[in-house]
């Protein structure tokens, strides 16, 4: 019976998530565990779940010999040493999607509240007044909203504001055009162009050196007079001093803020403005979001322990949940292509060029390249290589990897992955595609055009294009009880060299392979295990 994995949970998550974990693993809840205690016991666990504490340091990771996944219940991963985890091939997952609905709804709530003066009107009535004429507001209908950052929450906001009949424009230099089209947003090339056109501006980017203060005095000076601003992302993305100046100068008509450069924000001058609606970082503060954080993380951790691809993996290119099923066949195809080189060639590899042709060039190709590298290195490094550490291992072997995108179709294929592997003056070329049923097919082996479905056991045989060779090969395999499931012969020119690719149902013994190699009828016989 297979041993159940062991999971340590270092902070509180919802009971439903704990029940999910305990259904498939042995779980120890260690709320308040100290750093020395964690370092002492981590060697016994396959997975670790944390919130902002405890810290997952390099020492923790080094001692976690069994550790396969670290899960962070929440968005940030500041308390996890990602470099150390990546080197050791440990998957790090978090749950930024889990509060996307709540944060997106908070954004729209603040946009409406600030545009219609709802808190001020509410308080006037609570104080015994009425003052209807004091609270003239602004509609969203027909206005232009500028969204800075079209990730998970930005795209959620875009689709909802489309329903308000707003013109939705967005700035995000890291998102492909396809995503803008999918969420009904018009792509704007520069931040300043977006600011010039927007009646409402809302930010949805992570807080990085690049994004801190990205909307400052320069942007407000370019903005329409009467622009309205919302920030439910991270404090400091909108420069607070510049925002105060723009409010004072009448450039900004209102602002809705849920986040601040310093929290709590009790001494923030922005709270003194009557036309600023403020909330105490409530973006993820809903019952549903907190439940989802725990249950989503439980799913991700359990799936990662099974070796499955999961969304929101921090240390490999991220896939959205709905993208995983469509990407899985492409990842499998890339891994198959990678497995070919070291099983067919004996020359050390120095350089790999991967080109994505057709529809595949519009997808998240970074993770497909990782799958290729995993396949490439696994025949020589075994199970120690995975999607997480494949790039790091390749770099440490001195392998240079380049990636090219070509949205035109190649050789009639809707999508094609072509690979050039070079080393010591030699070159090998492979290509593959997906068939109508999404099954992977290898369609090029060096100079040979083929159409082969990869299977666990395969023989790649080069031969002289002569009568009787195929019969001889089939006879030897038949005598040794090796069943041929599929066979394909490819050649360049009649009477020259040709290649046979055989899918066989079981491994060929070494004695059988030696019969073939010693016969003088074949140029080479190579075994490929997929």
Banded model confidence at residue 41, pLDDT cuts 50, 70, 90 = very high
Looking at the fold, whether 248 and 350 belong to one and the same domain comes out as: no
Q: Is the pLDDT assigned to residue 23 strictly greater than 80?
A: yes
For residue range 74-92, list pLDDT tens digits in order.
877 878 998 899 889 899 9
Banded model confidence at residue 319, pLDDT cuts 50, 70, 90 = low
Rounded Cα distance between 415 and 186, Å, is 27
Banded model confidence at residue 69, pLDDT cuts 50, 70, 90 = very high
Does some domain include residue 284? Answer: no
CATH number at residue 140: 3.40.50.720
Looking at the fold, whether 428 and 387 belong to one and the same domain comes out as: yes
| Spatial CB neighbours of 405, under 8 Å, sequence gap ≥ 6 | 355, 356, 361, 365
Does some domain include residue 40? Answer: yes
Rounded Cα distance between 228 and 456, Å, is 60
Tell which of 395, 422, 454 closes a domain: 454
Choose, from 179, 234, 292, 413, the residue flagged as catalytic: 234
Rounded Cα distance between 6 and 66, Å, is 9
Total number of domains constituting the chain? 4
Q: Is the pLDDT assigned to residue 1 strictly greater than 70?
A: no
Between 130-144, 158-172, 213-227, 352-366, the lowest mean confidence (pLDDT) is in 352-366
Helix or strand holding residue 405 (H, E): strand 400-406
Q: Which of 197-206, 300-309, 499-508: highest mean pLDDT?
A: 197-206
Q: Is the pLDDT assigned to residue 521 strictly greater than 80?
A: yes
Sign (positive or negative) of CA dihedral 381, 386, 387, 390: negative
Q: Is the pLDDT assigned to residue 348 strictly greater than 90?
A: no
Sign (positive or negative) of CA dihedral 463, 468, 474, 480: negative
Query: Mean pLDDT throughout 198-217?
Result: 92
Cβ atoms of residues 100 and 156 within 8 Å = yes
Residue the block writes with tokens 């549903």: 288
3-state SS of 184-222 is CCEECCCHHHHHHHCCEEEECCCCCCCCCCCECHHHHHH
Query: Mean pLDDT throughout 156-161?
Result: 96
Active site residue 441: no
Looking at the fold, whether 254 and 331 belong to one and the same domain comes out as: no
pLDDT score for 364: 80
Q: Is the pLDDT assigned to residue 50 strictly greater than 70?
A: yes
pLDDT score for 423: 85
Cβ atoms of residues 151 and 175 within 8 Å = yes
Cβ atoms of residues 160 and 104 within 8 Å = yes
Return the structure tokens found at 293.
């954080």
Looking at the fold, whether 367 and 340 belong to one and the same domain comes out as: yes
Does some domain include residue 406? Answer: yes
Burial bucket for residue 188 (CB in 10 Å: 0-12, 13-18, 19+): buried
pLDDT score for 318: 63
Cβ atoms of residues 431 and 443 within 8 Å = yes
pLDDT score for 207: 82
Tell which of 402, 423, 454 closes a domain: 454
Mean pLDDT of the chain: 91
Phi-psi region of 211 (alpha: psi -120 to 50; beta: other; left: phi over 0): alpha
Looking at the fold, whether 351 and 467 belong to one and the same domain comes out as: no
| Spatial CB neighbours of 131, under 8 Å, sequence gap ≥ 6 | 121, 124
Looking at the fold, whether 322 and 448 belong to one and the same domain comes out as: yes
Tell which of 249, 278, 307 closes a domain: 278
Residues in the chain: 530
- Is the peptide bond between 330 and the residue preceding it cis, with omega within 30 degrees of 0? no
Looking at the fold, whether 114 and 78 belong to one and the same domain comes out as: no
Does some domain include residue 508? Answer: yes
Looking at the fold, whether 297 and 353 belong to one and the same domain comes out as: no
Q: Is the pLDDT assigned to residue 321 strictly greater than 80?
A: no
Q: Is the pLDDT assigned to residue 70 strictly greater than 90?
A: yes
Looking at the fold, whether 340 and 226 belong to one and the same domain comes out as: no
Does some domain include residue 283? Answer: no
Does some domain include residue 1? Answer: no
Could you tell me which residues are beta bridge partners of residue 489?
500
Does some domain include residue 160? Answer: yes
**In 223-320, which residue ranges form alpha helices assigned H by DSSP?**
240-248, 287-305
HSE-CB at 115 with a 13 A cutoff on CA atoms is 20
Query: pLDDT above 90 covers what percent of the chain?
Result: 61
pLDDT score for 425: 82
pLDDT score for 490: 87
| Alpha-carbon separation of residue 299 from 90, 95, 236, 238, 479 (angstroms) | 17, 11, 33, 35, 49
Between 52-66, 95-109, 245-259, 372-386, the lowest mean confidence (pLDDT) is in 372-386
Choose, from 63, 160, 167, 281, the residue flagged as catalytic: 281
pLDDT score for 292: 92
Q: Is the pLDDT assigned to residue 363 strictly greater than 90?
A: no
Does some domain include residue 181? Answer: yes
Active site residue 288: no
Banded model confidence at residue 353, pLDDT cuts 50, 70, 90 = very high
| Collapsed DSSP state (helix, strand, coil) of residue 235 | coil
Q: Is the pLDDT assigned to residue 15 strictly greater than 90?
A: yes
Active site residue 132: no
Helix or strand holding residue 148 (H, E): strand 144-148
pLDDT score for 151: 85
Query: Mean pLDDT throughout 422-446?
Result: 91
Choose, from 19, 178, 263, 479, the residue flagged as catalytic: 263
Between 31-45, 216-230, 312-326, 467-481, the lowest mean confidence (pLDDT) is in 312-326
| Spatial CB neighbours of 229, under 8 Å, sequence gap ≥ 6 | 200, 201, 202, 215, 238, 243, 252, 254, 255, 256
pLDDT score for 320: 60
Q: Is the pLDDT assigned to residue 2 strictly greater than 90?
A: no
Looking at the fold, whether 420 and 513 belong to one and the same domain comes out as: no
Residue numbers of the domain that contains 122:
99-278
Looking at the fold, whether 170 and 256 belong to one and the same domain comes out as: yes
Looking at the fold, whether 82 and 125 belong to one and the same domain comes out as: no
């Amino acid at each position: 019976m297979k041993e159940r994995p062991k999971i340590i949970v270092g902070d509180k998550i919802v009971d439903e998530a704990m029940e999910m974990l305990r259904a498939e693993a042995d779980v120890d809840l260690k709320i308040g565990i100290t750093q020395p205690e964690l370092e002492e016991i981590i060697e016994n666990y396959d997975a670790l779940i944390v919130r902002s504490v405890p810290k997952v340091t390099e020492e923790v990771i080094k001692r976690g010999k069994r550790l396969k996944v670290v899960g962070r219940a929440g968005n940030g991963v500041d308390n996890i040493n990602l470099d150390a985890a990546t080197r050791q091939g440990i998957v790090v997952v978090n749950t930024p999607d889990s509060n996307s609905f709540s944060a997106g709804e908070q954004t729209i709530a603040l946009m409406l509240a600030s545009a219609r003066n709802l808190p001020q009107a509410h308080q006037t009535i609570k104080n015994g007044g009425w003052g209807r004429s004091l609270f003239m507001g602004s509609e969203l209908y027909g206005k232009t909203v500028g969204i800075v950052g079209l990730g998970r929450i930005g795209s959620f906001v875009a689709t909802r504001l489309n329903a308000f009949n707003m013109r939705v424009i967005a700035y995000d230099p890291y998102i492909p055009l396809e995503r803008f089209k999918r969420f009904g947003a018009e792509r704007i090339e520069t931040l300043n162009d977006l600011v010039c056109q927007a009646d409402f501006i809302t930010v949805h980017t992570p807080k990085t050196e690049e994004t801190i203060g990205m909307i400052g005095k320069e942007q407000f000076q370019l903005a329409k007079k009467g622009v309205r601003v919302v920030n439910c992302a991270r404090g400091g993305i909108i420069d607070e001093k510049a925002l105060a100046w723009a409010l004072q100068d009448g450039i900004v008509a209102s602002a809705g803020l849920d986040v601040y450069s310093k929290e709590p924000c009790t001494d923030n001058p922005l709270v003194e403005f009557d036309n600023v609606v403020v909330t105490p970082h409530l973006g993820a503060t809903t019952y549903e979001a907190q439940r989802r954080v725990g249950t989503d993380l439980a799913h991700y951790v359990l799936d990662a322990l099974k070796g499955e691809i999961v969304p929101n993996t921090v240390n490999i290119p991220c896939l959205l949940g709905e993208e995983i099923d469509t990407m899985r066949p492409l990842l499998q195809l890339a891994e198959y292509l990678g497995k070919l080189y070291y099983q067919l060639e004996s020359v050390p590899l120095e350089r790999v060029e991967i080109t994505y042709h057709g529809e595949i060039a519009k997808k998240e190709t970074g993770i497909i390249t990782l799958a290729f590298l995993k396949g490439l290195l696994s025949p020589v490094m075994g199970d120690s290589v995975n999607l997480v550490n494949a790039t790091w291992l390749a770099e440490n072997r001195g392998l240079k990897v380049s990636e090219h995108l070509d949205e035109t179709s190649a050789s009639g294929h809707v999508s094609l992955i072509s690979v050039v592997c070079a080393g010591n003056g030699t070159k090998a070329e492979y290509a593959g595609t997906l068939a109508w049923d999404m099954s992977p097919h290898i369609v090029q082996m060096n100079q040979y055009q083929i159409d082969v479905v990869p299977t666990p056991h395969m023989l790649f045989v080069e031969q002289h294009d002569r009568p009787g060779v195929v019969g001889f090969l089939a006879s030897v395999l038949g005598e040794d009880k090796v069943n041929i499931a599929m066979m394909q012969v490819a050649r360049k020119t009649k009477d020259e060299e040709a290649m046979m690719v055989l899918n066989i149902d079981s491994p060929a013994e070494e004695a059988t392979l030696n019969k073939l190699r010693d016969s003088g009828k074949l140029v080479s016989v190579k075994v490929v295990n997929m």
